[in-house]
A and B are shown apart, each in its own frame.
Chain A
Amino acid sequence: MGQFFNNLLQDINAFLWGLAGYSSQEITTLAEDSWIGYLLAAIIQAALLLHVLAAGTVLFTWAERKVCGRIQDRLGPTRVGGKFGWLQSIADGIKLLCKEDLIPDEADSLLFRIAPYLSISASFAALIVLPFSDGWVAQQLNIGAFFILAIMGLEVFGVILAGYASGSKWSLYGAMREAAQVISYEIPLAMCVVVPVLLVGSMNLGTIANYQAGWFTNWLIFHDPFAFATFWIYFTCGIASVNRAPFDLAEAESELVAGFHTEYSGMRWSLLFMAEYGSMFTVSGLGVLLFLGAWYGPLPIFNSWTSGTESWYLAQMANLVGCLNFVLKSSLLVIVMIWVRWTLPRLRIDQVMTMCLKYCVPLSLIGLSGVLLWQLLAIPSLNDLAPARSDLTEHWAEKSSSPFVKDSQEKVDLFDGRNTQ
């Protein structure tokens, strides 16, 4: 990504000098991989990802209110910000900012303050390796899938701290429940994540995503029946690991008042809240990346441009469409989570653990071994039905003719290291 911004700066430079009539050879550009480029990239990426988190929370809160309103035969918010109550979440945010920041006497003040930041940092950090489109990722790690799992596990520390530090018995209950639940569900969740990793042979989320390019039959969920089942186990465990109903035991309002965030108010509470919604998006996004074709739409209209075209600008355009694709698919999964939440009663703690240990773990193991066998015996998968990716690439490469097409040498520079990791 640092290189990307370096290139961008070069492009801008070249464009400006080009206007003045100089040829590209004569242009003095910024040094390759300069630290300024990387710093700039890091700041811009952090700002962008922070906005993903904030805007995601605002939009998903609004969606949750609307969806739950419709499910309950109500309208949901209708007044703030026009007809559909678009600004309801903003209004709530302002309300939360204005609320008194209470720290109970019994609370361990330092830990009580740290907990929300820990939670939100973990939720935020997981976005670092989440690619929104081909190459649109803050840091393309070779172990992206593993990194997300590890970081998402960190979020539970914030919750445990919040529950412990509140000095309330209800909070402590919530924290203990969350600890037991999240740690248990990490196992089947990781098993399910291993399945696409096995199929593709890489933990790099970009590589896994690009493997699914082309028709929707190329998506890993359609690879074989085991992979199909694994996606649903993944989604169930994902709901459990982000504490959404019917697994929202940590904040079970009918039992534990509000669970671990009983004593929180104002902005601190809203940070915990944002962390929850951020993780919801991350889990959904990871599901989309691993199983549902990532940023590739069901039909290969735009996605082949991403790699086929020689035009850098066209490729970015296709990336933008891919990004929309990805966000749309992830949001759909989030809405399914909302839908489930407002339909089902809550499970009891022992039932949640039973479900994990007796059903999810064995089922995910079966899925894993099934996929292994499938690979081992080289059984043809549904993915083979779709036309091969290279054919499509050639097809689109012929078609694309843009005034911005650059010479092949420059193209190699631009895309070097993008998908080769």
Chain B
Amino acid sequence: MLDPTLINNKNIEYDAQTNEMLINMGPQHPSTHGVLRLIIRTDGEIVSEIQPHIGYLHRCAEKIGEHLSARQWIPYTDRMDYLAAMNMNLGWSLTVEKLLDHQVSKKLQHLRLMICELGRIASHLVGMGAYGLDLGTASPFFYAIREREKILDLFEKACGARLTFSYITPGGVMADIPEGWIDECKAFLDYFEPIIKQYHTLLTTNAIFLKRTCNLGILSKEKAIDYGCSGAVLRGSGIDYDLRRDGDPFYTEMYDGYDFEVIVEKEGDYPKDYPYPDVPREAQLGDCWHRFYVRMLEVIQSIKLIRQSFEKYQSIPEPIEKPLKLQQKLPKGEIYLETEAPRGQMGFGLFSEGDPIPWKVRARSSCFCNLSVLPELCRGVYLADIPSIVGSLDIMMGEIDR
């Protein structure tokens, strides 16, 4: 029996604790993708419970939206998912257009598709590189950034910005792409496509990478649906659902006449236009490796889409139309539209009282739902698996906190 006076002694308590330990990971932790904070309860190296805390990047974007006209709010959408700002712009623009029932011309749709799929590649590249960083290898990140810089160069030529583009806007785009842009884009794709093979050698088939990702953080189909997951997380679990094909007709019209595949595992394999690596034996559907691989293959589909859009865009001779007026009056009503952003389904809600300024603006973040499966996936894993699982969800704190 311990002397009761000793029990309160700080030193004894400090030295002799054998119970579970509570650790705070983030918001300044190097591998939490921004400002995510995780409260982890651990028993040695084993994690027994994990709780994500969010809100460190909350910038009241939705409230600000209630004081700006629809077009003025575009720069705020840039700052939500700042790695795929083009896709965010598109989501909001389409929502406003749908409320106005104003479908843009076919040529503009091809242009938007081209830009958005480039944005998807850029975003997945960071997802891939940062995942390598999470697993302790810095080099893939630099390769990914090298390629992403080339995409950003293309974006810069189109709109002048490299991160927060505000390019796609309700009713159109800020300006048509300059002369010769398409040739440069083609040259980039020709350069980029063979390079993806290197990434597969570097990461996808690397023995250590397989050890760190396969059979880890398995998200079952049911759970993925229950938690409202979307994007690569949903498709990595084997659910054949992509808003580019199954979404709102107002959105899918953009993809009419395009040939692309939704990347999802079918009968133990992925649709293969290219001789890319097989699913390894140790991988299980819904684990980190599958989520990563879906992203890698989606890049190929995006390249395919962009290649198709060049011809379609160039076949229409007349110039693209001007965007809507800055203070365009919105009709009374409410609207909600989801689009397929690189990280999942990005939804925008708009409630209008008939003014140019919306009465209420809402954004539904895909990453918020994707992050919410984290406590489920991280039960009983090793501490070192947390970056591995968080990285495979590819979250973006700017989008979650808005």
Contacts and interface: CB of A to CB of B under 8 A. Distances in A.
Contacts of B132: 345
Looking at B23, B133, B203, B384, which has the most chain A CB atoms within 10 Å of its CB?
A: B384
Interface string A335-356: 0000000111111111100000
Contacts of B21: 169
Contacts of A72: 138-139, 142-143
Contacts of A349: 45, 382, 384
Contacts of B384: 249, 252, 255, 346, 348-349
Contact of B137 (A169, A170, A344, A350): A344
Contact of A245 (B30, B136, B386, B387): B136
Contacts, number: 80
Size bin of chain A's contact surface: 20 to 34
Given A246-B208, A345-B212, A73 B142 contact: yes
Given A254-B133, A346-B135, A351-B212, 20 more contacts: A72-B143, A74-B142, A169-B21, A169-B23, A170-B23, A245-B137, A252-B136, A254-B30, A254-B134, A254-B136, A342-B138, A342-B139, A345-B132, A345-B136, A345-B203, A346-B136, A346-B208, A346-B212, A348-B384, A349-B45
A27 interface: no
A344 B140 CA distance: 10
A328 interface: no
Contacts of B31: 253-255
Size bin of chain B's contact surface: 20 to 34
B310 interface: no
A248 interface: yes
Contact of A347 (B142, B143, B203, B212): B212
Interface string B13-55: 0000000010100000111000000000000010000000000
Nearest to A252: B136
Contacts of B209: 345
Interface string A68-112: 100111100000000000000000000000000000000000000
B385 interface: yes
A277 interface: no
A246 B209 CA distance: 11
Interface string B149-192: 00000000000000000000000000000000000000000000
A72 B132 CA distance: 13
8 contacts: A170-B23, A173-B383, A254-B30, A255-B383, A342-B138, A345-B212, A348-B385, A349-B45
B211 interface: yes
A343 B137 contact: yes
